[in-house]
Structure 1
Amino acid sequence: MKLLVKSAQHFATQAHTQINHLRKYTKQPYQMHLKRVAQTVSEITDDPEIIAAAWLHDTVEDTPATFEDIELNFGSRVVQFVFDLTDVSRPSDGSRALRKAIDREHLSQASPAAKTIKLADLIDNCADICKHDERFGRVFVVEMQQLLPHLVDGDERLYRRAERLCSKWAEKWSIPPSSGAAWVEPPALHATRDLFSNRKLQRLFGEMFSARDVAESLPSYDWDISENELLHLLNNSDISVIGLRKSGFVYGYVLLDETNKKPACLKRRFMDAQLVDIDTPLLNVIATLVHHQFCFVSSMGQVAGVISRNDIQKPAVRMWLFGLITLTEQYMAEQIKLIWPNDKWFKFTSSARLAKAKELKEERERRGQKCDLLDCVQLSDKALILIEDPDYMELFGFSSRREAKTAIKEVESLRNNLAHGQDIISYDWPQIIRMTSRVNETLSNR
Structure 2
Amino acid sequence: MGFQLWYSKHTGIRRKGTSFAELQDIFIENITTKYIFEPLACCKITDNTYEVKSTLEQRDFDTLGVVDENDQKLGYVVQENLGENSIENYIEKFEIAIVISESTPLSELFEILLDKEYVYVLSKNSVNGIVTRADINKPIVRIYLFGLISLFELHLNFWITENYDEESWKEILNPGRIELAEKIYKERKGNNVQLTLLECVQICDKREILRATDKFRDDFEFSKSAFKKLLENVEKIRNELAHSQTSIIANLEWTDFVNVIKSMKEFLIKSEEKIEA
Per the normalisation by structure 1, the TM-score is 0.49
Q: Aligned AA for 1:441?
A: E
Closer/same/farther in 2, CA of residues 396 and 418 from structure 1, 3 Å limit: farther
Aligned partners of 1:244 and 1:253 also within 8 Å: yes
Q: Residue 164 of structure 1 corresponds to which residue in structure 2?
A: none
Closer/same/farther in 2, CA of residues 438 and 207 from structure 1, 3 Å limit: farther
Aligned partners of 1:283 and 1:436 also within 8 Å: no
Aligned partners of 1:201 and 1:327 also within 8 Å: no
How many residue pairs get aligned? The number is 252
Q: Residue 35 of structure 2 corresponds to which residue in structure 1?
A: 213
Q: Residue 332 of structure 1 corresponds to which residue in structure 2?
A: 156
Quote the offset at 1:198 in angstroms.
7.3
Q: Distance in 2 between matches of 1:342 and 1:331?
A: 16
Instruction: Give 1 or 2: higher helix fraction.
Output: 1
Closer/same/farther in 2, CA of residues 197 and 219 from structure 1, 3 Å limit: closer
Residue-by-residue CA offset, 1:220-272 (whole Å, 9 max, x unaligned): 345676534532542454644212357976463222239x9xx9x93333342
Quote the offset at 1:438 in angstroms.
0.8
Q: Distance in 1 between matches of 2:215 and 2:93?
A: 46
Q: Residue 197 of structure 2 corresponds to which residue in structure 1?
A: 373
Q: Distance in 2 between matches of 1:230 and 1:216?
A: 19
Higher relative contact order (CA 8 A, sep 6+): 2
Q: Residue 248 of structure 2 corresponds to which residue in structure 1?
A: 424
Please tell me the root mean square deviation across aligned C-alpha atoms, in Å: 3.4
Task: Work out whether 1:353 is the aligned partner of 2:177.
Answer: yes
**Runs of at least 5 residues in structure 2 that lack an aligned partner in the other structure:** 1-8, 273-277
Per the normalisation by structure 2, the TM-score is 0.75
Alignment of 1:288-367 (within 5 A): 288-366=112-190
The structure 1 residue matched to 2:56, chosen from 209, 234, 259, is 234
Out of 292-301 and 230-239, give the one that drifted further: 230-239
Alignment of 1:53-68 (within 5 A): none
Q: Distance in 2 between matches of 1:390 and 1:272?
A: 46
Q: Aligned AA for 1:401?
A: K
Q: Distance in 2 between matches of 1:356 and 1:236?
A: 49
Q: Residue 260 of structure 2 corresponds to which residue in structure 1?
A: 435
Q: Distance in 2 between matches of 1:212 and 1:365?
A: 41
**Runs of at least 5 residues in structure 1 that lack an aligned partner in the other structure:** 1-189
Residue 244 of structure 1: SS of its match in structure 2? Answer: strand
Q: Aligned AA for 2:230?
A: A
Closer/same/farther in 2, CA of residues 202 and 340 from structure 1, 3 Å limit: farther
Q: Distance in 2 between matches of 1:192 and 1:218?
A: 50
Task: Percent identity, please.
Answer: 28
Aligned partners of 1:249 and 1:302 also within 8 Å: no
Q: Distance in 1 between matches of 2:49 and 2:221?
A: 48
Residue-by-residue CA offset, 1:39-65 (whole Å, 9 max, x unaligned): xxxxxxxxxxxxxxxxxxxxxxxxxxx
Aligned partners of 2:43 and 2:52 also within 8 Å: no
Q: Distance in 2 between matches of 1:322 and 1:353?
A: 25
Residue-by-residue CA offset, 1:120-152 (whole Å, 9 max, x unaligned): xxxxxxxxxxxxxxxxxxxxxxxxxxxxxxxxx
Task: Work out whether 1:194 is the aligned partner of 2:14.
Answer: yes
Out of 237-246 and 424-433, give the one that drifted further: 237-246
Closer/same/farther in 2, CA of residues 233 and 223 from structure 1, 3 Å limit: same
